[in-house]
Amino acid sequence: YIFYTLKGLKALEEQLKEILNIKKVIISPNSSGDDPFVYKDMGKTASKCINSIIKNDSIIGLTGGTSIYQVVMEYKNSRDIEKYKNVTIIPARGGLGKEVEYQANTLVQNLANKLGCNYKTLYTPDFLSKGTIDSLLKEPSIKSIIELIEHIDILVFGIGRADKMAKRRGLKNDEIQSLISKGAVSEAFGYYFNENGEIVHEISTIGIKLETFKKIENLIAVAGGSEKAEAIASISKLNKNLTLICDESVAKKIILKY
């Protein structure tokens, strides 16, 4: 039985990889409709994936969110204190919000503690004016982290639905409606995209730029739940180097739809 299940999942992974035209797909099996363990499992898979590509001087970028939170939770403590001493972990962009435990800065510190490596944080708010951004970018401490962000080797990021993320970030109803009427279906690292992977809106904040994202060699997206089908398909258009770690329910939904 297990043999057939695994074989079935492998076929599903291949099919989804073809449809999305990306580097790799890893699917965690759902045991039932609403399965909390699937998120733990995706986190564990992602942590193994990071472990297999991490080099002794890697610069790892993280976003926040509940999916990446699970990745950090499932990561095992490194027993070798020397191994990662030149690795650096940074948030992909600034961020301050209500739910501190899911913020990129918190996840960065937690993962760095597990690996025994260096980290930097970036505590800047979302919605900044252009003038504020320009002057913050002149600050040496912010400049140095921006330089690191431009050299990220491995980015581990969450994918959100545009409507849900806009709501989570406290946008007003008419602002959310305006995003949706412009075709926004997905959100990742502060950008909202339409189904073709074109930018619909960009949060004025400090952090990773889309041009940088498009050049990163190792991209690991962690996203599950069938409601994220359109969002995942949209983000997959941005960079073919993507490794997608998702669950069975969203994999099947994407295959049915596209």
Contact between 94 and ligand BG6 (CB under 6 A)? no
Residue 61 or 64 having the CB closest to ligand BG6: 64
The DSSP bridge partners found for residue 219 are 155, 242
Kindly state the smallest distance separating residue 110's Cβ from ligand BG6, in Å.
Answer: 14
Contact between 65 and ligand BG6 (CB under 6 A)? yes
For residue 77, the SS3 value is coil
For residue 146, the SS3 value is helix
- Cα–Cα distance measured from residue 241 to residue 216, given in angstroms and rounded to the nearest whole number: 8
Kindly state the smallest distance separating residue 67's Cβ from ligand BG6, in Å.
Answer: 3
Q: What CA–CA distances, in Å, run from 237 to 20, 21, 202, 228, 231?
A: 8, 8, 17, 15, 10
Counting every residue, how long is the chain? 258
Q: Residues binding ligand BG6: what is the number (CB under 6 A)?
A: 12
Kindly state the smallest distance separating residue 39's Cβ from ligand BG6, in Å.
Answer: 9
Kindly state the smallest distance separating residue 68's Cβ from ligand BG6, in Å.
Answer: 6
Applying CB under 6 A, which of residues 15, 23, 66, 109 lies at the interface with ligand BG6?
A: 66
CA atoms within 13 A on the CB side of 133: 13
- Cα–Cα distance measured from residue 226 to residue 145, given in angstroms and rounded to the nearest whole number: 35
Give the per-residue contact string, 142-161, with ligand BG6 (x = CB under 6 A; - = no): ----------------xxx-
Contact set with ligand BG6 (CB under 6 A): 63-67, 158-160, 165, 187-189
